[in-house]
Chain A
Amino acid sequence: TQTVSQSDAHVTVFEGDSVELRCNYSYGGSIYLSWYIQHHGRGLQFLLKYYSGNPVVQGVNGFEAEFSKSDSSFHLRKASVHWSDSAVYFCAVSAIDMGYKLTFGTGTSLLVDP
């Protein structure tokens, strides 16, 4: 069984700050890792994903994430946030032998103060 943990329910930063949203997972096999963003009242939008290769992956709007097998983590980062980045961010994992179903964390609500 896959589990996904997003330890910070809420993060508040100022516009222009850097931010890191944390994601830890547990699963013994090969997995896919991804991040999605959900603005208020809207569906999820794909940000980026990792399966293999370079552990640092680039996504849309300046986001990147780094996979660490030793830490079982896939943290999301952005060097300089904008007020429009305020949203809920979800980390998700899936695995071939779990039928590719996504298992989501419970999200981190990011508030960017202008």
Chain B
Amino acid sequence: NSKVIQTPRYLVKGQGQKAKMRCIPEKGHPVVFWYQQNKNNEFKFLINFQNQEVLQQIDMTEKRFSAECPSNSPCSLEIQSSEAGDSALYLCASSPDWGSQNTLYFGAGTRLSVL
């Protein structure tokens, strides 16, 4: 079983509100990915990190999305001003190294509902 811990499991926000979710990767995993899974099971890659450094990210929806993986603290993903279209399951995944990226260990996700 995966040891990636995501909190909270559920998040309900009004439009325009901030939404913040956290992820603790598996111990010893320096690589972290964030994905968005919508209700149609379409996945969107958001960002990935190696240690604290951003490796790749999409043009994060007019910069409303921000993420970080500080040293000795949980990683986080924040939406500055939530929109209805942001309602989705946000999945955090970690990997022991860049070369084995194909094996990702996922958390249970944070389900965001924007009312």
Contacts and interface: CB of A to CB of B under 8 A. Distances in A.
Contact of B55 (A44, A99, A104, A107): A99
B105 A46 contact: yes
Contacts of A34: 102-103
A88 B89 CA distance: 15
A102 B45 contact: yes
A100 B108 contact: no
A45 B2 CA distance: 8
A90 B41 CA distance: 9
A107 B37 CA distance: 11
Interface size class of B (residues with CB under 8 A): 20 to 34
Interface residues of A, number: 23
A29 interface: no
Contacts of A51: 102
B56 interface: yes
Interface in A54-100: 88, 90, 92, 94, 99-100
B101 interface: yes
Interface in B60-103: 91, 93, 98, 101-103
A109 to B, nearest CB: 9
Given A43-B4, A44-B91, A49-B102, A104 B43 contact: yes
B102 A32 contact: yes
B85 to A, nearest CB: 18
B49 interface: no
A94 B91 contact: no
Nearest to A31: B102
Nearest to A51: B102
Given A106-B41, A106-B42, A43 B102 contact: no
B109 interface: yes
A36 B43 CA distance: 13
Given A99-B55, A104-B43, A106-B40, A43 B101 contact: no
